[in-house]
Structure 1
Amino acid sequence: MALRCKTQTLQVIDTEYSADAVEWCPLDDWGTLLACGTYQLKKPDSKVSGEDNDDPHLRLGRLYLYHYDPHRVFSPVTEVQRIETAAILDMKWCHVPLWDSPILGIADAKGSLQLYRLQGNRESSRVQPTCSVDLEGDCLALSLDWSTGRRESTSLVKMVCSDSQGRLSLLQVEESAPSLDVVCQWKAHGFEAWIAAFNYWNCDLIYSGGDDCLLKGWDTRATPDSPVFTSKRHSMGVCSIQSNPHREHVLATGSYDEHVLVWDLRQMKQPMSDTHVQGGVWRLKWHPTDGALLLAACMHSGFHILDSASDGCPIVSSYVLHNSLAYGADWSRVCPPVNPGTPVEFPAERTEDSVTAHSDAMKLEQSGQNLKIFYESPTCSFDVIVEDDAGVYVPEPSGKVEERPITGVSSNVKCGQAQTNLLATCSFYDHVLHVWRWQSQRLSPAE
């Protein structure tokens, strides 16, 4: 079975501060809401005119909340709220309501974990700070994950957070009242612990990756003073991990080594697949309903969609219209309309070589304005001062769409049936958020 696909940009938004995290709300009644987090380093004001100030730079952040209206042809995404915060390094919505509300968790540059409660209705929503916890020590909170990835109601909701001191913190959310408590904290990596994630099928198990190039597994039922496994399969820092919420025992990991690995957790000696994506893999997101599709934010090479059910886990589609480091990416559970009453039309089929040449040409076309910083620690890239007017967005070339025929795609979608997905991605130095549509169609071998 083959797959035809194409992408279409719906909207580009200037986030003013450098954008590094984007998350659609996963709750069914709130799926049209999109949160975006930013990180901006600011020079301290000079104490005396003409003299340098030795005070540390300020890490500023801004949280944006947007509403997506599928019925608006132009500007379907509108801003409903912005909040000035500490610099944001990661954020995720809880997959189930807490305290009768959707809850957004944020890991920030002050070394704290913040919870925000969503209130109001979809068109006039607001988030309000609800509770927070300080991870202690001079650190940046680098990532977080909820134990609720399979969206099953539970009386015990947990969170895990990683930080720049190489530590992991396991936290428990109180059910009766807004409260967040650290259950245990331990040293997991020799350098920055870039990422931590739950096994969504057994939330006593946690996975972590660090700048020491190690992928580790932990069992929190015992004192986690030693990992249950350690993998050295990645050759550079491990910075993205996500458990598959649809397929038990499946884990995806990504690294600065530009490889996405898909693992069977019952056999961790070798991954099931290894895909070279041409850029450091900062974030990985499984599709909300299709357990085979995986979205990857690949820093210098844009955003890619992989099919883990096909041999080799190939890239089936790419979105390369950002002009800076690709950091934030997420699928929406909302299915956007194409054009009411109009069938999906795909361009004439191209060969693999022509698709590659098209992608390379687009990169060359934009290369004069790309800011390339190769493989430094992301905390260093976050801490590069870039004035707002330094990031220049290159508009999407008109009439150009991406299509890549592949074989062996496994999906629940029937042959000939087109499906449409809504995605959001953001990039750093050009401080932009893209909302775009990905359309795909399954073809029979004869086609």
Structure 2
Amino acid sequence: MVDTVWPADSVEFCPHESASDIFVCGTYLLEHSTADVVHTASDDDKAHLEPDNIGNQRQVRRGKCLVFRVTESRAASQVQEINLPAVLDQKWCHTTSTASPVLGVADSEGNITLHEWHTGECQLKTFQNISCAPSDVLCLSLDWSTRRFPTNTLGSLVVSLSNGSLCVLKPDSTGEVSVVDKWHAHDYEPWIAAWNYWDTSVVYSGGDDLTMKGWDIRQSFSVTTIQSHPHTEHLIAVGSYDDSVYIFDARKPIVPLVRGDVGGGAWRVKWHPSPTRKEDLLVAGMHDGFKVVKVHGEDLAWGITKRFDDHKSLAYGVDWSFAPPDVDGQTLIASCSFYDHALHLWSG
């Protein structure tokens, strides 16, 4: 048994083949500086997440990254101690054998610090500190994207924050890691964020709001329209400003089944009201007119079958008639546009 002195909350073995006998342990000490009283997480499960100021007392969160080597007798021998703000989580980046092991540490002052393992010197060396949030926000967890497919370079990171947000960090061409995206994800603390290692466009998160959520991080656009399919269960059409319509299976809503380019941003989508034309979708394409799209086959092949471009302004409203089709099998369609205040009837 090893006494870590301060309360310990995370342990991570190094996955690199050259350092598989190395592991780290993170510690977290909560202090009220004016009273010289030490509080630990055992006093109250969430005491360490209270506001920094309580009355006249200033909370100070201190931590250490303790580095250990496993001996031949399977004992833990400490080889290094790194002073940090309180440590909430730690993860090693999974890299190939030709790259150096790198450890990411999430701390109580909104930072992710990156540390490279130097085998010859048997120590971690800090090479970057990334601020993800103000110093009164805690980084609660982190995860690297490369677990399933290790790389020669650093992977991406997802980090959960005590203010309910998630952020994604990525390295640039020089290897410098920075925050590239951040969004509010939960109403209470998201204790965990993790990648889908098989599809790294997807991250998961969960927390004290009693929810687990999945996020497609490619979709950083506004959703403008949604319609469930009236004749095919589980299918949902979703439009966005990014000139696309996405078809989702409601049972697996993280990744779309298909993405179709409709041009100009999709303001409205309408499935055909008849089950005999259940593959037809009507789209108001804002800056690129109105279209009838066919989404067919097991692979949901996407194709535009008709356009209507007589409107001279933003294509907003559109709908199918529920009346029987005409002699050519076409359905009456109404469409309207904004600044030219125009309404048209046409068939498709």
Shift in CA distance, 62/224, structure 1 to aligned 2, threshold 3 Å: farther
Matched, 1:15 2:16: no
Q: In the alignment, is the contact (CA less than 8 A) between 2:23 and 2:68 conserved in 1?
A: yes
RMSD (CA atoms): 2.7
Counterpart in the other structure of 1:60: 62
Counterpart in the other structure of 2:194: 197
Counterpart in the other structure of 1:208: 205
Q: In the alignment, is the contact (CA less than 8 A) between 1:218 and 1:224 conserved in 2?
A: no
Shift in CA distance, 42/35, structure 1 to aligned 2, threshold 3 Å: same
Counterpart in the other structure of 2:73: 72
Q: Which has the higher strand share?
A: 2
Q: Secondary structure at the match of 1:29?
A: coil
Matched, 1:35 2:3: no
Shift in CA distance, 266/31, structure 1 to aligned 2, threshold 3 Å: farther
Deviation at 1:157, TM superposition (A): 1.8
User: Which of 155, 158, 164 is residue 162 of structure 2 equivalent to?
Assistant: 164
Q: In the alignment, is the contact (CA less than 8 A) between 1:42 and 1:58 conserved in 2?
A: yes
Counterpart in the other structure of 1:149: 147
CA distance in 2, matches of 1:40, 1:266: 44
Deviation at 1:53, TM superposition (A): 8.6
Number of aligned residue pairs: 210
CA distance in 2, matches of 1:15, 1:120: 23
Deviation at 1:125, TM superposition (A): 1.2
Q: In the alignment, is the contact (CA less than 8 A) between 2:69 and 2:79 conserved in 1?
A: yes
Bigger CA drift: 136-145 or 78-87? 136-145
Q: Secondary structure at the match of 2:190?
A: coil
Q: In the alignment, is the contact (CA less than 8 A) between 1:156 and 1:175 conserved in 2?
A: no
Counting only pairs closer than 5 Å after superposition, residues 406-445 of structure 1 correspond to structure 2 as none
Deviation at 1:54, TM superposition (A): 1.9
Deviation at 1:17, TM superposition (A): 0.4
CA distance in 2, matches of 1:182, 1:53: 34
Counterpart in the other structure of 1:131: 128
Bigger CA drift: 90-99 or 76-85? 90-99
Structure 2 unaligned blocks of 5 or more: 37-53, 224-248, 254-348
Deviations 1:386-430 (A, max 9, x none): xxxxxxxxxxxxxxxxxxxxxxxxxxxxxxxxxxxxxxxxxxxxx
The AA in structure 1 aligned to 2:60 is L
Structure 1 length-normalised TM: 0.44
CA distance in 2, matches of 1:155, 1:266: 36
Counterpart in the other structure of 1:90: 89
The AA in structure 2 aligned to 1:171 is L
Q: Secondary structure at the match of 1:153?
A: coil
Q: Secondary structure at the match of 2:103?
A: strand
Q: In the alignment, is the contact (CA less than 8 A) between 2:95 and 2:154 conserved in 1?
A: no
CA distance in 2, matches of 1:99, 1:113: 24
Shift in CA distance, 64/225, structure 1 to aligned 2, threshold 3 Å: farther
Counting only pairs closer than 5 Å after superposition, residues 296-445 of structure 1 correspond to structure 2 as none
User: Which of 215, 218, 222 is residue 218 of structure 1 equivalent to?
Assistant: 215
Deviations 1:338-369 (A, max 9, x none): xxxxxxxxxxxxxxxxxxxxxxxxxxxxxxxx
Deviation at 1:120, TM superposition (A): 3.0
Q: Which has the higher helix share?
A: 1
Deviation at 1:45, TM superposition (A): 4.3
CA distance in 1, matches of 2:168, 2:7: 29
Shift in CA distance, 156/79, structure 1 to aligned 2, threshold 3 Å: closer
Deviation at 1:100, TM superposition (A): 3.7
Q: Secondary structure at the match of 1:114?
A: strand
Deviations 1:310-331 (A, max 9, x none): xxxxxxxxxxxxxxxxxxxxxx
Q: Secondary structure at the match of 2:18?
A: helix
Q: Percent identity?
A: 35
Structure 2 length-normalised TM: 0.56
The AA in structure 2 aligned to 1:64 is L
Q: In the alignment, is the contact (CA less than 8 A) between 1:195 and 1:208 conserved in 2?
A: yes
Shift in CA distance, 212/196, structure 1 to aligned 2, threshold 3 Å: same
CA distance in 1, matches of 2:203, 2:55: 43
Deviation at 1:118, TM superposition (A): 0.9
The AA in structure 2 aligned to 1:190 is D
Q: In the alignment, is the contact (CA less than 8 A) between 1:67 and 1:78 conserved in 2?
A: yes
Shift in CA distance, 29/220, structure 1 to aligned 2, threshold 3 Å: same
Q: Secondary structure at the match of 1:169?
A: strand
CA distance in 2, matches of 1:225, 1:215: 21
Shift in CA distance, 68/197, structure 1 to aligned 2, threshold 3 Å: same
Higher relative contact order (CA 8 A, sep 6+): 1
Matched, 1:112 2:108: no
